[in-house]
Amino acid sequence: MEQFLHDNSLYVVLGIALILWFGIGIYLFSLDKKVSKLEKQIASIKE
């Protein structure tokens, strides 16, 4: 296993970075949905 990680270290780092970017994207998408929902609630209260 250690030899595999040593030989393919670039791919391991790229894979970890890709997983992190997907996680950040999913978090931002869910946060955007929550903010949009709150904005609609605020708009309906003001009317």
- The pLDDT score that the predictor gives to residue 1 is 81
Predicted pLDDT at 4: 82
Residue-wise pLDDT tens for the chain (47 aa)?
A: 888 878 889 999 999 999 999 999 999 999 999 999 999 999 999 87
- pLDDT at position 37, please? 96
Query: Taking the complete model, does pTM exceed 0.75, yes or no?
Result: no
Buried b (16+ CB within 10 A) or exposed e, 5-43: eeeeeeeeeeeeeeeeeeeeeeeeeeeeeeeeeeeeeee
Q: Can you give the residue ranges of every domain in the chain?
A: 21-47
pLDDT confidence of residue 20: 98
